[in-house]
Structure 1
Amino acid sequence: MTELKNRYLSLDVFRGLDVALMIIVNSAGNGSTTFSPLLHADWNGFTLTDLVFPTFLFVVGNSMSFSIKKYEAMGHAAFFKKILKRTALIFLLGFLMYWFPFFDDGQLKPLSETRIFGVLQRIALCYMFASIILHFVKTRTAIWLSLAFLVAYHLILIGFGDLTLTGNAVLKLDEWLIGPKHMYHGEGIAFDPEGLLSTLPAIVNVIIGFLAGKFIQKNGQNFETVSKLMMVGFALVFAGLAWDLLLPINKKLWTSSFVLLTCGIDLFAIAILIYFLDMKKMTSWSYFFEVFGKNTLFIYLLSEIFVISLYSINTNGESLYKWIADNVFISWSGGYVGSLLFALWVMITCWVVGYFMDKKKIYVKV
């Protein structure tokens, strides 16, 4: 637990907005009656939900732009110890989250069938690689490395597989490296949208978030900063849409075009928030999202454990999750509205915990 230092309001709100949306899209009361913007694209394409995870990585990079100053004063040994310790802890939390609730019908769930890669695991790996790169190289080199990662990933995808669910290079590497039992099965087959290979382009989301944060700190929160962020954002969106003609925008493969599109949108979003929150001081609405933004990782973990626990409790032959969704929300408001209300209930429940933590000045850092 720690006090918050060296933050700016727009970053906390941006992070909070993203976590709130992440909880909503992960907590649909009934997946078959969920409004389409709250669903991932089936394969190629893009929805609001597809923006959530890359934005999380972007704000991880943004936050790193504050902490990197402390790391510059460390020796290389101390730096690596700090980074690797944090990486291992976040990765372990993600692994334990997929293993939770650990027991099934009184038997310990087998580790041999527990998913290895996932959301927190990708955050951990991207944080580690981005930290090492940004610690050792200058800004210009980081930009060139980012471009090299995106081009290399494009070439690997088309050189070692196709762009289908069953024949892509991401799937092939994970099958060889960890095996199908350790992979995500939500697509109907063993395929992990947070697989090891597709972590390579995801590192770029963190690097661009870092460069944006560093630029904001250096140039201040003013019209020039906002306009430059928006111009670069427009350029990245345009580049992403152009690259889509060669390599489709695809969140599940985390294609290079997807990286540029999402980073461009994130630059637009942070520029708009800087204008309204830090420049115009229009903050009457912001506190709700600040609560999420100040304990991001903790609240995300809380939301996942809450949902998993609801699924794990049996009530009249069905999960408590489904019972609450059907009987408390969907029964009187209909499938689509009821599913949304259920997701909002989960989100508000987590917010209340975050609210009391903020009032007690409790901020959990990993």
Structure 2
Amino acid sequence: MQTTTQAAVETTGTVPLAEASQPARLISLDVFRGVTVAAMILVNNPGDWGHIYAPLEHAAWHGCTPTDLIFPFFLFIVGVSIVYALDGARRQPEAHGRTMVRILKRSAILFGLGLFSALYPKFEFETLRIPGVLARISWVFLVCGVLFLKTTWRQQMGLLAFVLVLYNVLLQVVPVPGSGPANLEPATNLGAWLDRLVFTENHLWSQSRTWDPEGLLGTLPAVGTGLLGMLTGQWLRRKDIEPATRVAWLFVAGGAAVLLGLVWNGWFPINKALWTSSYVLYAGGLAMTALAALYWLTDVQGYRRFTKPALVYGVNAITVFFLSAIVSKTLNLIKIGDVTLRAWLYNTFFTPYFSPINASLAGAVVCVLIWLGILWVMYKKRIIIKV
């Protein structure tokens, strides 16, 4: 834990220079991260999994709902954050060794938290799911962190294009051992085969056991999402270009990425579970435009009154994501009569007063608000838990 002090917003004439007040940190990035993790809490904690509004569910397979944008937005944010966290170390080659140790340590902690979350509360190692959300974040952070230290932005652009084309070829050209021709079906695509080979079925997503939405091969294009974030972060740090110009070109780049993703969707469909190349560009382009808008409002123009709830979530994002999963599982351990505490709370305070689908949504919203209250207290006390 550590304490932080927010810098005051400076102004010159009529144009706020909020971005000058925190040269090493973007308020817009914390806001974007906070909105994203709050959305994670919302979609991961419905009152009733059998009654969910369509936008709060993942696409059945091909396609993209608002919920499918949450995870790529977070990995994009990871990429931007790497630039702001490691730019100083990047300029000091003699410090690269120590920095890589820090990157490796943080990746290991994230991976370990993911394993603990998957094990809790039964700790059945024989059916432990090894891939997962925190595992993928750890791998993307590790690879992108090293690439940021050791490559130029031009090389990162080239790597991004190479990764996206390579992944398209792997999934649509390379035959799948034991299954036949290349295909994009859930259990028979190349990524699913690789996950079963490396992890075995006992250590994959419990709802399928034959494939995993956070599988090993899909981490390759997920790194591409992180690279898009890194490229965006480096563009935003360009002090030789006026903020308005930076924002304008970021909107252009984001729009172009979305358009290219939609075009590519024609033969390599947008798919979150496969993390297809079209999905990387489509979701990454939307993330660029969202961050550009927030950057202009909060870091350049200094409009921050509306940002406090998102900031409260954003500065402890991994903490609330991890703890919310642990608390949810704990509520299912405690019994009141014949039902779990979680079910009792839901049946007592929500189902009598709403339709089934609205009760489910209300339960999720209240969960978000409860965590907001907890995080607000932490924020006021300057408690920021860094992984």
TM range (shorter): over 0.9
Please state whether the residue corresponding to 2:303 is helix, strand or coil.
coil
For residues 42-92 of structure 1, the C-alpha deviation after alignment (integer angstroms, 9 at most, x for no partner) is 000000000000011011111111111233224343232111111111100
Partner of 1:172: 193
Q: In proportion to residue count, which structure has more helix?
A: 1
1:57 and 2:75 correspond: yes
Please state whether the residue corresponding to 2:129 is helix, strand or coil.
coil
Q: Which runs of 5 or more structure 1 residues have no equivalent in the other structure?
A: 104-108
Q: Which runs of 5 or more structure 2 residues have no equivalent in the other structure?
A: 5-21, 177-181
Contact between 2:43 and 2:57, CA under 8 Å: does it hold in 1?
Answer: yes
Please state whether the residue corresponding to 2:211 is helix, strand or coil.
coil
Partner of 1:183: 204
CA distance in 2, matches of 1:71, 1:28: 42
1:223 and 2:244 correspond: yes
Contact between 1:55 and 1:263, CA under 8 Å: does it hold in 2?
Answer: yes
Select the residue among 48, 51, 55 that pairs with 1:37.
55
Select the residue among 175, 196, 220 that pairs with 2:216.
196
Please state whether the residue corresponding to 1:257 is helix, strand or coil.
helix
CA distance in 1, matches of 2:319, 2:109: 13
TM-score by length of 2: 0.89
CA distance in 2, matches of 1:310, 1:190: 29
Partner of 2:146: 132
Select the residue among 156, 159, 176 that pairs with 1:145.
159
TM-score by length of 1: 0.94
CA distance in 2, matches of 1:263, 1:206: 9
CA distance in 2, matches of 1:189, 1:128: 27
Which of 1 and 2 has greater Rg? Answer: 2
Contact between 2:203 and 2:209, CA under 8 Å: does it hold in 1?
Answer: no
Letter paired with 1:257: S
Letter paired with 2:222: A
Q: How many residues align?
A: 359
1:25 and 2:17 correspond: no
Cα distance, 1:353 vs. partner?
1.6
CA distance in 2, matches of 1:100, 1:189: 19
Contact between 1:27 and 1:342, CA under 8 Å: does it hold in 2?
Answer: yes
Cα distance, 1:325 vs. partner?
2.2
Cα distance, 1:317 vs. partner?
2.5
Cα distance, 1:165 vs. partner?
1.1
Letter paired with 1:207: L
Contact between 2:31 and 2:307, CA under 8 Å: does it hold in 1?
Answer: yes
Partner of 2:7: none
Could you tell me the percent identity over the aligned residues? 33
Cα distance, 1:221 vs. partner?
7.2
Partner of 1:82: 102
1:354 and 2:375 correspond: yes
CA distance in 1, matches of 2:111, 2:142: 11
Cα distance, 1:328 vs. partner?
1.3
Letter paired with 2:227: I
